[in-house]
Chain A
Amino acid sequence: MQGYLLIEGESHELAIVPGAGGGYRLPDGRSIALLPALGDAPAGVRVGDRRYDAEIAVAADSIWVHLDGTTYEVTWRSDVDHHAGVAIGTDSGAVRAQMPGAVVAVLVQPGDRVSAGDAVVVIESMKLETTIRAPRDGVVAAVDASVGQSFERDVILFEFVDGEP
């Protein structure tokens, strides 16, 4: 198989088949092709007999499509990544930012013992001040954020180890 596309929260398994003499088809046989902008005709995509005007831009595994007045972000995941499952992303003690922002305050140091719910880091993002708390009891292993630092979503803010030191 050729991976999966995530579209508006739903996974779609891909099974593109070769068209005879080059080209590509959907599993039901309809041929598909990208249509570059030509003169006055805008860029688009063709599926079987139908033509859709579409603007497409790609960055890594994100395919952005502006189609019929609406914008979609389609994410491609390889077969392997899709099926790898829960194994990915379960860092036991890393706490990640839920949204991009900047660090406003760091309330702990490495070595501090924290209980579930203790405030560890305060971040600010577009007039939203959020306190990031320890998800479970543990000891702070490292704080990866410093006051004033900007960060993107999913960046690790701090790490801790479970239980007693």
Chain B
Amino acid sequence: MRPIRSALKTDTAEFRANAAHNRGLTDQLRERQRAARQDRPQRDLDRLARQDKLFLRDRLARLLDPGTPFLELSTLAANLAYDGEVPSGGQLTGIGMVMGKEVLIRADDASVKGGAWYPHSVKKIVRALDIAIENRLPVIHLCDSAGGFLPLQSQFFPDRYHAGRIFRNQAILSKMGVPQVAVVLGHCTAGGAYIPALSDYSVIVRGTGAIFLGGPPLVKAATGEVVSVEELGGADMHTTISGVADIAASSERHALALARETIGALSPGRKTAIDRAEPEPPAYDPAELYGIIPVDARVQFDMRECLARIVDGSRFFEYQPQFGPTLICGYARIWGFKVGILANNGVLFSESALKGAHFIQLCDKDRTPLVFLQNITGFMVGRDYERQGITKDGAKMIMAVAGASVPKFTVNANASFGAGTYGMAGRAFDSRFLFSWPQAQVAVMGAEQAAGVLSDIKIRQLEREGRTLSDAEAQAIRAPVIRDYEAQSSAWYATSELWDDGILDPVDTRNALGLCISAALNAPIPETPHYGVFRM
């Protein structure tokens, strides 16, 4: 493959302004992630120390193979919820190496509200287990939770994808032969008790770990029985009498060592083979991405320049370069893995949509994973385009995206609006992983556009009444819409609501995708792709 020839000028005022702005955003991202991971009220840290418990990050460090990467997901979940008092949703999820195997780690953070499950916590756990199912990743649960946050139970208990889905997913993982190891480092009460019970293997720490459907206070209230934590659900009882847990550990460090040993004892899964070559770093400096992304979201930029700073050797085999130029399609490699790239360079027209649908099918046949770099404000609108059938051409692209059998990976690199989101493998379309860049936005339409639409409605309403809108009145309608839209279409909001799997520093995109592709290959790629009907 030939390398992309960059036409970027890095010494312009615009480049410098972009870089300063985007570096600022990245600094913000790093600081917010750091705070979400580390900043805790001292009294919570003191309580952990008193209980002889390790801080979550220390538990993680002891679990992972030294010198290996860890891709943390949804670090900023719930960052705009609960007044920011539940950083990371009180959960840690991510993909790392344990004894040379890729595993998904899901941990309760006992330093956040005692590890209690809030609605966002449950959503994060369900999402993590969905990832495990789709990618056949073994799971390590680090259990240490106070249980569900009762005041909000209607938001995390009854519905289909609420807490019950955690246990359903666990059962499905087990049915699929994907192992789960639960390490009980604290209390697993009521629903939480099912996590170790539904895990294939479990380790429980003597003294601090406990598993019971009801704790001592509940038991006393229910039946009058007085019983201690150890006797009711402690390590020795469960590992010698009830069989609810498998191995008792004398300390957390012992337990984590046993968890590693357990993973080491499991047979390795089969990894799907795809076209892979020796990795090659991009020929251009990835830090230049900061200078490419415009400060103003509405300013267009050439996605090829981004590709040149992400893919191996900046090499790219472009498919139909002249046809449907607002969608770039082609093959490239990321960390050696060959992938099919779809990247937006403007709004989607019929030609670009058709090209996209065709290219997706090519990649499917070629057993090549798909990487979508989104910068899409929508499909072209207008009379001629409708007559040409842009709606059915968009539908064909959506049909291809939905039916693709190769793994999909999506990065919202700037904008993800309207039906363009669908055609470019947005959240609803089962990408194995979906990330946002810090400045990216996702919404049904842009804030300005939405404000314009809502103002238009008002204007026509007034016209029917025979009145006109003053400038001030127009402003009074537009301003709050823009403000709310901007807030709710920001990457911070999206990640808070777990509409993505995390915000990435653009420079980290290559590594993150490399790890995701590798993780995804733990699941097979079906032999025969098939799709629904393409409206021709």
Residue numbers of A with Cβ under 8 A of B are 1-2, 15-18, 25, 27, 78-80, 82-87
What's the nearest-Cβ distance from chain B to residue A32, in Å?
13
Q: Which of B59-74 contact A (CB under 8 A)?
A: 62, 66-68
B250 CB contact (under 8 Å) in A16, A17, A79, A85 = A85
Q: By the criterion CB–CB under 8 Å, are A83 and B66 in contact? A: no
Least Cβ–Cβ distance between B148 and chain A, in angstroms: 32
- Can you name 17 extra interface pairs (CB under 8 A) apart from A2-B66, A87-B250? A1-B66, A1-B257, A1-B260, A15-B67, A17-B67, A17-B68, A25-B67, A27-B66, A27-B67, A78-B257, A80-B254, A80-B257, A80-B258, A80-B261, A82-B257, A83-B250, A83-B254
- The reply on B392 being an interface residue by CB < 8 A is no
Which are the 6 A-B pairs with shortest beta-carbon distances?
A17-B67, A79-B257, A83-B254, A15-B66, A83-B253, A80-B257
**Which residue of B has the minimal Cβ distance to A16?**
B66
Contact call A79/B261, Cβ cutoff below 8 A: yes
Q: List 10 A-B contacts (CB under 8 A).
A: A1-B66, A16-B66, A18-B67, A27-B67, A79-B260, A80-B257, A83-B250, A83-B257, A85-B254, A86-B250
Q: When chains A and B are docked, how far (Å) is the Cα of A7 from the Cα of B258? A: 24
- Residues on A with C-beta less than 8 A from B251 are 83, 85
For the complex, give the distance between the alpha carbons of A84 and B68 in Å. 26
* Chain A contacts for B249, CB-based, 8 A: 83
A86 to B206, CA, bound (A): 13
Partner of B254, one of A2, A27, A84: A84
A85 to B253, CA, bound (A): 10
| Residue numbers in A under 8 Å from B67 (CB-CB) | 15-18, 25, 27
Residues of B within 8 A of A1 (CB): 62, 66, 257, 260
CA of A27 to CA of B66, assembled, Å: 8
Interface footprint category on B: 10 to 19
Residues of A within 8 A of B258 (CB): 80
Docked complex: B232-269 residues within 8 A CB-CB of A: 249-251, 253-254, 257-258, 260-261
Q: CA–CA, A1 to B62, complex, Å?
A: 6
The closest CB in chain B to the CB of A82 belongs to B257
Chain B positions within 8 Å of A, measured between CB atoms, are 62, 66-68, 249-251, 253-254, 257-258, 260-261
CA distance A149 to B62 in the complex (A): 46
Give the residue name and chain of the B residue nearest to A18 (CB).
B67
Q: How far is the CB of B263 from chain A (nearest CB, A)?
A: 12
Asked if A84 contacts B66 (CB within 8 A), the reply is no
Which residues from A are CB-within-8-Å of B257? Answer: 1, 78-80, 82-83
Residues in B neighbouring A82, C-beta threshold 8 A: 257
Q: In the complex the two chains form, what is the Cα distance from A78 to B260 in whole Å? A: 11
Nearest CB of B to A48, in Å: 16
Closest A residue to B253 by CB, please name it: A83
Residue among B68, B251, B257 with most chain A CB within 10 A:
B257
Are A17 and B66 also in contact (CB < 8 A) when A84-B250, A85-B251 are? yes
B contact residues around A87 at 8 Å (CB): 250
Q: Cα distance A17–B66 when bound, in Å? A: 5
Query: What A residues does B261 contact at CB under 8 A?
Result: 78-80
Residue of B nearest to A17 (CB): B67
Cα distance, A83 to B253, chains bound together (Å): 6
Residue of chain A at shortest CB distance from B262: A80
Whole-angstrom CA separation of A10 from B127 in the bound complex = 44
Chain B residues with Cβ under 8 A from A17's Cβ?
Answer: 66-68
Taking the closest CB of chain A, its distance from the CB of B510, in whole angstroms, is 16
State A83–B254 Cα separation when bound (angstroms).
5
CA distance A85 to B258 in the complex (A): 13
Cα-based distance from A79 to B250 in the complex (angstroms): 13
Closest residue of chain B to A81, judged by CB?
B257
Q: How far, in whole Å, are A27 and B65 apart by their CA atoms in the complex?
A: 12
Q: Give complex CA distance A31, B43 in Å.
A: 42
Residues of B within 8 A of A15 (CB): 66-67
User: Closest residue to A3 on the B side, CB-wise?
Assistant: B257
Q: How far is the CB of A152 from chain B (nearest CB, A)?
A: 28
Complex Cα distance, B199 from A67, in Å, reads 48
Give min CB distance, B397 to chain A, whole Å.
40
Alpha-carbon separation in the docked complex, A82 to B249 (Å): 12
Q: How far is the CA of A124 from the CA of B502 in the complex (A)?
A: 70
A2 to B261, CA, bound (A): 10
State how many angstroms separate the Cβ of A46 from the closest Cβ of chain B.
Answer: 18
CB distance from A81 to the nearest CB of B (A): 9
CA distance A129 to B217 in the complex (A): 61
Expressed in whole angstroms, the Cα–Cα distance for A109 and B149 within the complex equals 64
Closest Cβ of chain B to A21, distance in Å, is: 10
By a CB distance below 8 angstroms, the chain B residues around A78 are 257, 261
Q: For B254, what are the chain A residues with a Cβ–Cβ distance below 8 Å?
A: 80, 83-85
What is the bound-complex CA distance between A5 and B112, given in angstroms?
36
Residue of A nearest to B62 (CB): A1
In the complex, what residues of B have CB within 8 A of residue A86's CB? 250
* B255, closest chain A residue (CB): A83
Q: B residues within 8 A CB of A83?
A: 249-251, 253-254, 257
Shortest distance in angstroms between B482's beta carbon and chain A's nearest beta carbon? 49
- Tell me which residues across on chain A come within 8 A of B68, comparing CB atoms: 17-18
Chain A nearest CB, measured from B21 CB (Å): 34
In the complex the two chains form, what is the Cα distance from A17 to B69 in whole Å?
Answer: 11
Instruction: Give B250's nearest chain A residue, CB to CB.
Output: A85
For B253, the chain A residues whose CB sits under 8 A away are: 83
State A17–B257 Cα separation when bound (angstroms): 17
Central interface residue in B66, B68, B261, by most chain A CB within 10 Å = B66
Residues of chain B contacted by A18 (CB below 8 angstroms): 67-68
Q: Which residue of A lies closest to B66 (CB)?
A: A15
Cα–Cα, bound, A25→B67 (Å): 9
Residues from chain B with a CB closer than 8 A to the CB of A16 are 66-67
Give the docked Cα–Cα distance between A25 and B66 (Å): 10
Nearest-CB residue, chain A, relative to B206:
A87
A1 to B251, CA, bound (A): 15
Tell me how far the C-beta of A24 lies from the nearest C-beta in chain B, rounded to whole angstroms: 9
From residue A153, how far is it (CB to closest CB) to chain B in Å? 26
Q: How far, in whole Å, are A1 and B58 apart by their CA atoms in the complex?
A: 12
With A and B bound together, what is the CA distance between A79 and B263 in angstroms?
14
